[in-house]
Chain A
Amino acid sequence: MAKKSNGMRSLVISIALVALAFIGYLSVINNGLTRDIAELRDEVAALTAQMNEQGETPLAEAQGSLNESTDQQSTRDVVLARGTLIAGVNAALPGFGTLDTATGEFTGFDVDYARAIAAALGLEIEFIPLTAGERFTALQTRQIDVLVRNTTWTLTRDSQDVAADFGPTTFYDGQGFIVRVADGIGSLLDMDGATVCVTSGTTTEGNLADVFRQNGLELNTQVFSETEASFGAYEAGACDCYTSDKSQLASLRGSASNPADHVILPDTISKEPLGPLTRHGDNEWSDIVRWVVYATFFAEEHGITQANVRTFASEDPEVRRFLGLEAGLGAKLGLAEDWAIEVIAAVGNYGEIYDRHLGPNGLGIPRPGSLNALWIDGGLIYAPAWR
């Protein structure tokens, strides 16, 4: 009796081992399947590019069906189907993105740009507040459709590492330092051996290390995950200095317990061009986001404001194209013809958005003479040709 049960048991066990081995094999060959998907996609993209050159098939159609077949719809289609735009914003940066906990309303420079995109599509908007650490993951995993959260345009973020595409820069910022007046620090070069508080998840740490190394200065840092904790530690004296983008320093100084005790040093140690982000491989959607931003630049250039956009009359053909009165440019982006009117009616032109949040009534960052002025005034705010 014992021998028989042993034989049966070993047979069953060997079947189990074979089954497990088969499962292991399946998981290995699946690797090959996902590789094939990527290869196929590349091949199809190359072929459609070829066909498009020969003028045989509209690229958009091929792209659309390709996206559908690989289960990756254009964000524009997803958003229109959903009926709401989901935008990632900052909830804790006065001027750029804040959440009024009493009313539940989001306000800010970046928040207005998210509203502009929603207005162009004619949709409702939903805001998701994100920390610096989680913003890219939220975009990559499609939790949000667009990220408008004072994000600096860098090569790493534009590349396959983060797989994001940047829209036009809406705010040209730079990294600076805020110190206590009482410490008597005049410039960066006085800070040999100082302790600097930073918030993690941004380009700030890297820039700080670079500039201190370049000038041969000793650096100590304290890194926190929350801006409130970081600035709080600086105010309490745990650090000699706090570093961040100058716009953030302006807003933090304004909300400090005694603003007159702090001074922002004149040194600007980096370029921080801030703008909206979309995912890689989503050209149609990126175009929409890009041209919504350009619409606000164009409107200010031609004197179109929130108040007069619906009744604006002009003989200038470019302005007429902008207002959708001729040439049908909206259809090329997949939007309604009056999309630009809706954008300006919702949030105003660039100057109005800037003045509302960053002007004298807001953070008080002076605009004339800075990089954020219109190109005709010597700045970098420039919209391409509207045709």
Chain B
Amino acid sequence: MRPTKTSDVVEIIRAVNQVRIVGTQTHKDFSLVSDSSHLVLGLEQLSGIVDLSPEDQVVVVKGGTSLGLVQMELGRYGQCLPLVEWYDGYAPTNIQTGTVAGSLSMNMPHYLEAECGNWRDWILGMTVVLADGTICKSGSHAVKNVAGYDVHKLFVGSRGALGCVTEVILRTSPVKSLPDPVVRANRIGKKHHDCVTWIQKVAPAFFDEAWNNCIEFYASGYPNSSTIWCSLPQDCELPRFPGDWVIRSGCGEKNLQLTDPTQIALMKRAKAIFDPTNKLNPGEWGFM
């Protein structure tokens, strides 16, 4: 099902018992759910620029708008979202084809995080359809706002488990303010047919050591954000470092392994409050 407006999303969510909300599935290999028998709610036709104000550094877009369209429209005014293509360890992955809602819901690391932040820093507000079909808004068009709780930030990286994001208000950046990413790249080794992507973010002091661990593999790394993207054979893992985190593609439930009990307990509480019947993106977080 491919709704074109928020009210359609409401009808679909109210009508179903379980639904899988997706954008263009650019990052589907990183999901914990490899195959879904659930109804799919694709957002790509809920698309379009709602408002664009370069002098305010603000753009309002529908959730299914492709990042490529957003970047193109912003580019006309010398603005952009400071996302830079990343490498899956073998070849560049064109994140421009992803949707805004899908990208913020996955919150994948990108090259310019250290300099330009991430979705949590750009998002000013959003419209969401909750599991019971209620349409809710949070935030405002102002780049600075402390009125109430920043609920929209909870949806960054939530993988669609809390609600369906139908409209997003974003802060933009001047293109000319972006630094050139200085990327390290290993082009050694082969990408096997069963290779998986290993994304690891470490504390800056460990970056060189983490990078050295990739020396035998196809990999890229960005020192400023202490992140490596590495293509590994299916059963291979790289050494871990204190405080680091890893996400993977193609490894099923190993794609994401949260272990912090406080984080897990709070996520379960959040899910129980926002989606008590586990209607939205079931299985996406494994433990919920």
Are A and B genuine complex partners?
no
Chain B residues proximal to chain A, CB less than 8 Å: none
